[in-house]
Structure 1
Amino acid sequence: MSRIAIPSYEDQPSASQPLLDAVQGQLGVIPNLFLLVGSSPAVLEGLIALNGALGRTLDVRTRERIAIAVAEATGCDYCLSVHSFLAANMAGLDADEIAANRAGHSLDARADAAVVFARAVVRTRGKVDGTDISAVKLAGFSDAQVIEIVANVAINVFTNLTNNVAQTDIDFPIVRAGA
């Protein structure tokens, strides 16, 4: 059971309800993460805005690979469950690719560079060395895309920490970190 109450839609602040309506319109459901964060309209607005902006950067497969790698690294069962589901059902990644992502890699060489770099950002708390940056750039990622990878790590760390603190009730098929 979640350690922080997950308000129902009806119990959300009035400023959060239109934002949650937009989430439901896009996903067909309002995941517990958004209901949890909705208790703070400012945080919900920021999360949705950054998520929307990042949705226009790296391709969905790369974003999901990064999300899975970060969720495994932070031990977030909620986010690992969500992103494993989205990776398979929205991004078309197979079980072998998802397993590689959980291990901090990808079966695709270019994507592997992004996932390895993302895990290095998490592991070093951003204090990566020059070889980490060189490797991701050698794989064909531009300076802007390196920053986009970091931004994807950051938004995922935020949601991972939020869900780890709250122990948010998982509303997707459950996947356990470290399993």
Structure 2
Amino acid sequence: MSRIDIPTRDDAPEASQPILDAVHKQLGVVPNLFRLIALSPAALAGYTAFQGALGKALDVRTRERIALAVAQANGCDYCLSAHTYLGLNLARLSPVEIALNRKGASGDAKANAAVAFAVKVVARRGHVSEADVAAVRDAGFSDGQIVEIVALVAENTFTNFLNEVAKTEIDFPAVRAEAA
């Protein structure tokens, strides 16, 4: 059971309801995470705008790989569950690839650099080395894409932290961080 009551669409603040409707239109459902964020219309508007903009960053497979690695690093079962589902069904990642992503790696050399860098950003709270930045550049990422990787880490860390604070009820097939 969640520590913070998650509203239904109709019980969410009025300013959040159109955004929840847009999420429903896009996904066919409104996951608990979005209804939780909806308690703050400002947070929901900011989050969905950031998420929408980052949906154009990198490719979907790399975004999901980073989300899995960050969720594992932060120990967020809700986000691991959501991104395992999305990784399998949206990004078409294999179960083997998802297991690697959760360990901060990838079977794809370029993606491996992005995922490993993302995990270092989380673990070192942004205090990465020159060698860390050089490694992701050497793998073929531009400086703009490095900014996007860090932005994806920030986006995912927000949802990881919020879901851990709220102990959001998982509404995807459950995946547990400690099972990695």
Q: Same fold (TM over 0.5)?
A: yes
Give a deviation string over 1:58-97, Cα, whole Å, max 9, x none: 1000000000000000000000000000000000000000
Give a deviation string over 1:115-140, Cα, whole Å, max 9, x none: 00000000000000001000000000
Give me the whole-angstrom Cα distance separating, in 1, the residues matched to 2:86 and 2:135: 27
Q: Aligned residue pairs: how many? A: 179
Which residue identity does 2:116 align to in structure 1? V
The equivalent of 2:116 in structure 1 is 116
Which residue identity does 1:56 align to in structure 2? K
Give me the whole-angstrom Cα distance separating, in 1, the residues matched to 2:141 and 2:81: 28
Give me the whole-angstrom Cα distance separating, in 2, the residues matched to 1:107 and 1:77: 23
- 1:26 CA drift (Å): 0.5
Give a deviation string over 1:35-58, Cα, whole Å, max 9, x none: 000010000000000000000111
The equivalent of 2:60 in structure 1 is 60
Give me the whole-angstrom Cα distance separating, in 2, the residues matched to 1:157 and 1:150: 10
CA RMSD between the two structures: 0.4
Give me the whole-angstrom Cα distance separating, in 1, the residues matched to 2:93 and 2:113: 17
The equivalent of 2:149 in structure 1 is 149
Structure 2: stretches of 5+ with no match in the other structure: none
Give me the whole-angstrom Cα distance separating, in 1, the residues matched to 2:115 and 2:178: 17
Q: After TM superposition, what 4+ stretches of structure 1 lie above 4 angstroms from structure 2?
A: none
The equivalent of 1:177 in structure 2 is 177
Give me the whole-angstrom Cα distance separating, in 1, the residues matched to 2:113 and 2:171: 31
Identity among equivalent positions (%) equals 63
Give a deviation string over 1:99-153, Cα, whole Å, max 9, x none: 0000000000000000000000000000000010000000000000000000000
- 1:178 CA drift (Å): 2.1
- 1:15 CA drift (Å): 0.4
The equivalent of 2:94 in structure 1 is 94
Instruction: Determine helix, strand or coil for the equivalent of 2:174.
Output: coil
Instruction: Determine helix, strand or coil for the equivalent of 1:128.
Output: coil
The equivalent of 1:13 in structure 2 is 13
Give me the whole-angstrom Cα distance separating, in 2, the residues matched to 1:117 and 1:44: 28
TM-score by length of 2: 0.99
- 1:171 CA drift (Å): 0.2
Give me the whole-angstrom Cα distance separating, in 2, the residues matched to 1:149 and 1:97: 19
Instruction: Determine helix, strand or coil for the equivalent of 2:116.
Output: helix
Give me the whole-angstrom Cα distance separating, in 1, the residues matched to 2:153 and 2:64: 11
The equivalent of 1:160 in structure 2 is 160
TM-score by length of 1: 0.99
Which residue identity does 1:66 align to in structure 2? I
Instruction: Determine helix, strand or coil for the equivalent of 2:39.
Output: coil
Which residue identity does 1:92 align to in structure 2? R
Which residue identity does 2:59 align to in structure 1? D
Paired residues for 1:133-148 under 5 Å: 133-148=133-148
